[in-house]
Amino acid sequence: MQQNHHEETIPGSMWTLAVGVLVTVISLWVGKNLSWTMPEQASLQAPLVDNLFDILITIGTALFLLTDGAIIYALIKFRHRPGDETDAAPIKGNLPLEIFWTAIPAIIVIFLGIYSTDVFREMGGLEPPGHHMGGSHSEMAQVMTAPDPDNESSKYGVGAAPDKQNVPADLQVKVTGLQFAWLFNYPEAGIMSGELHVPVGKEVKLELVATDVLHAFWVPQFRIKQDVMPGKPSQMRFVATKTGVFPIVCAELCGSYHGGMRSKIYVHTQEEYDAWLEENAIAAKNQDAVETVAVNTQDLSDEEFLAPYSSDLGIDRDTLSEIKSLASAITETAYQ
């Protein structure tokens, strides 16, 4: 009697389901556990950005596992065997498969576009205060041709959240970017400072402008960044949620000493902030407050700019000049 031997195998659909579940679990885990790579959250805006970051990492991990997994599987499954000189099976195409791998990325891109736009809207990026296109044609032409620092409609940037569109900020600070420093002016208190001081839990509005070249005001822990442009005022609002000291970085290449254009933002309790205002009110009486806060380094020679740093290293001006002359000689020799 002839016996039929039938080898049982796992159906392809089961393998597909198992791989899909495994990729989903790994991707979700990576998306939720990679937040340690980000700075601490110190503003109301930070969780919005981090949630978007988690979703991007989750989707990116899934795509990486699927595409690279498919490549590795193909390398092993369809590798050339010794002695096999036959041609590969002819493949003309698979229309359902092509529709599938086109539709899925399209859906993902549309979803990310909608979600990221909603995050930008929640942060106040779509409707800065007063940024309306209504009014007469003459009013619109005036706004477009002559930017006015005091005109809200001429400013770019991140305004108030949708639920606070008509609510003024608790604190307003004018920020000036110049090579290579930040200046912070408190109009109501008449204080000029080289560091930004704000109370915790209060909405702060920054009005930013540059005096020379393009800069970018960036606070990583707050997840906020805004271009600071000459002749084109911009603005940004935020609410700090933690007290402490956080770095302010220029995120736009603005010159030779761009890397040194840094400052700090001090987030105080309300009592500490009131005390700071009282202690620094005397600065309003100093007519040369700008010069005492920062020096416009674009007008300095290399020796003058490096003098404070070289003195800390015990290098006098003559030695610094000799080093510069030697470096120039080496450079000239290298290009000859």
pLDDT tens, residue order, the chain (336 aa)? 455 555 666 666 777 788 888 888 998 998 888 877 888 999 988 999 999 999 999 999 999 999 999 899 889 988 888 888 888 777 777 888 888 889 988 999 999 999 999 888 888 877 654 443 333 333 333 333 334 444 444 456 677 777 677 778 889 999 999 988 999 999 888 888 889 999 999 999 999 999 989 999 999 999 999 999 998 888 889 999 999 999 999 999 988 888 889 999 999 999 999 989 888 876 555 545 445 555 555 566 666 666 666 666 666 667 767 666 766 666 566 555
The overall pTM is greater than 0.85: no
| Structural domain of 46 | 18-78+97-122
Beta carbons of 111 and 103 less than 8 angstroms apart: no
Residue 234 counted as domain residue: yes
The domain tally of the chain equals: 3
> Do 292 and 311 fall into the same domain?
no
> Do 244 and 210 fall into the same domain?
yes
Residue 224 pairs with which residues in a beta bridge?
219
Residue 128 counted as domain residue: no
> Do 291 and 315 fall into the same domain?
no
> Do 104 and 171 fall into the same domain?
no
CATH of the domain at 182: 2.60.40.420
Beta carbons of 164 and 157 less than 8 angstroms apart: no
> Do 306 and 183 fall into the same domain?
no
Beta carbons of 217 and 206 less than 8 angstroms apart: yes
> Do 261 and 320 fall into the same domain?
no
> Do 286 and 172 fall into the same domain?
yes
Residue 222 counted as domain residue: yes
Residue 4 counted as domain residue: no
> Do 287 and 322 fall into the same domain?
no
Residue 206 counted as domain residue: yes
> Do 264 and 171 fall into the same domain?
yes
> Do 207 and 74 fall into the same domain?
no
> Do 260 and 211 fall into the same domain?
yes
> Do 271 and 323 fall into the same domain?
no
